[in-house]
Amino acid sequence: MQGLMQNWPLTADRFLDHAKAWHGDQEVVTRSVEGPITRTTYAEIHARAKRVSNALRGLGVKPGDRIATLGWNTARHIELCYGIMGMGAICHTLNPRLFAEQLVYIINHAGDRIIFADISLLPVLAAIRSQIPVVEHVVAMTDKAHLPAGERALAYESLVERASAEFTWGGFDENTAAGLCYTSGTTGNPKGVLYSHRSNFLHTLAMLSPDVLGLSAVDVVLAVVPMFHANGWGLAFACPAAGTKLVLPGQKLDGASIHELLETEGVTFTAGVPTVWQMLLAHLRESRGKLTTLRRIAVGGSAVPEALARGFRDEFGVNVLHAWGMTEISPIGTVAAPTGATLKMDTEQQYGAALSQGRPPVMVDLTLVNDDGARLPHDGKACGRLLIKGPFVVDRYFGDDSAHKLLDSEGFFDTGDVATIDSLGFMRITDRSKDIIKSGGEWISSIEIENLVVAHPKAALAAVIGVAHDKWAERPILIVKLKPGETGTKQEFLAFLEGKIAKWWTPDDVIFVNDVPLGPTGKIDKKLIRKQFADYRLP
């Protein structure tokens, strides 16, 4: 016997419908690519997104077509997202920080028919235009007055103004594809993750719960994490759903620009990768700035350095909420929110839990296995491969018709991370499986060493990789980028680590470099570092 409830498909367009109906006058603020701060509302975005749907239909777009965006976080980007998905097409967010050859591969692999691009990113497309024959139209996300001289792209505002605001969204199955996002391609070609309306809807409900992001109508959210990074962490869905005031930073993510928006717009919550918050913290210290309304920062993408979390808490009274996830899981998998048990601990123990990757929300299941696939205990000590499953976890990659199964026999996806889980359910990543250093048969966590080193007052960035060793198979070396004007020695950095890690974890060498390469999402690119030091030999 089945239940006798209404059939109400969980499609993402309903978030903006809800926002228009119940908090349509809530403000959405953008630092526009053209320069000025612009202001609109959810009701206005809803009407313009309907015009986008009609404009797309006028260009011959059909349900299932992939429509790409190459843009920063702006109100126009939100309009596009909903206008594309609402008509049953697929919104494919392109990362402008990728190398040209990766962009070419992704666009052709996805079969993008149209690309909407911010004017500052039109040169990126111009450089590869002849290599992406699948693309029929390029639309510049601006008005005619701001089109660069000689630019042949269509003007976004002209398309929107000519289109009707009457369009019926939805009417399709909730498992219909809604969005496409590619992994950053740290190993092999980037892989496409195809989100469904249902997966986005359920992910949003999980995000809004108090033990995850806990957003509400009293919040003002600055969405620093780009919409092209791991599904934009779902903020484009969660904010309209909750009725938060939404602030969008455009392309300016430096410390001074972020600080300005935080203060002028009364931001209470923001989210992004650690590199952004390191820039903000440095700016605040240098300018003696204050944070008068900000209460929480969600940090993900890579592990939160303890010095960063302590800096915001102790100097500015802002809590750092550590989250873990990946493109393949929509992306939030765990959040280090406190529990009744952790609140009974002393301050330092509470801090230790807060710096872990956290606990899974409802609809997420985690397990640890060893190299033989056997389950490992959740005792905080056993370290193994981290597997995950749930309704917003990838089943297979877009365009992958091979017989290779992505999931194991129980439906778990291998995250590629190595982790522990303690008795309270807090998960801690010890390394990526490809980055972990195996020395004499024992594992050394590069992440733990890196997080300690960036607390050194002279260190700007740090990376640890394994290099070949005749006796121990691998040994760690430490690569350090110093802050401007600083000098350092190997002995001083090794002394800084003394007593904080096991002696056999101590790096065999410390190398100072002018720069540490970052990947397209702001993470340290270990692949490039390993390539750079491929011929390195231990002293």
Q: Which residues are catalytic?
A: 183, 328, 438, 443
Length of the chain counted residue by residue: 539
Where do we find the tokens 């930073």? 249
Provide the token pair at 147. 């089109």
Provide the token pair at 376. 């490992």
What is the distance between the alpha carbons of residues 423 and 463, in angstroms, rounded to a whole number? Answer: 30
Cα 419 from chain centroid? 20
**Nearest in space to 26 (alpha carbons), one of 187, 277, 350, 244:** 244
Angle between helices 13-23 and 75-86 in degrees, nearest 10: 120
Provide the token pair at 271. 């989210």
The edge-to-edge listing of strands for the beta sheet with 459-469 is 459-469, 473-482, 509-513
Cβ neighbours for 121, distance < 8 A, ≥ 6 positions apart: 70, 71, 96
Cα torsion 375, 377, 382, 386 to 10°: value is: 50
At 280, which helix (H) or strand (E)?
A: helix 274-287
Going from the C-alpha of 20 to that of each of 35, 279, 309, the distances in angstroms are 27, 35, 37
Give CB contacts under 8 A, 24+ apart, made by 409-417: 412/365, 412/367, 412/387, 412/388, 413/328, 413/329, 413/387, 413/388, 413/389, 414/385, 414/386, 414/387, 415/326, 415/328, 415/329, 415/333, 415/385, 415/386, 415/387, 415/388, 417/385, 417/386
Angle between helices 490-497 and 446-453 in degrees, nearest 10: 110
Exposure string (b/e) for 157-188, b if CB count within 10 Å is 16 or more? bbbbeebeeebebbebebebbbbbbbbbbbee
Angle between helices 274-287 and 255-264 in degrees, nearest 10: 80
What is the distance between the alpha carbons of residues 49 and 84, in angstroms, rounded to a whole number? Answer: 8
Residue 475, number of CB atoms within 10 A of its CB: 21
Cβ neighbours for 401, distance < 8 A, ≥ 6 positions apart: none
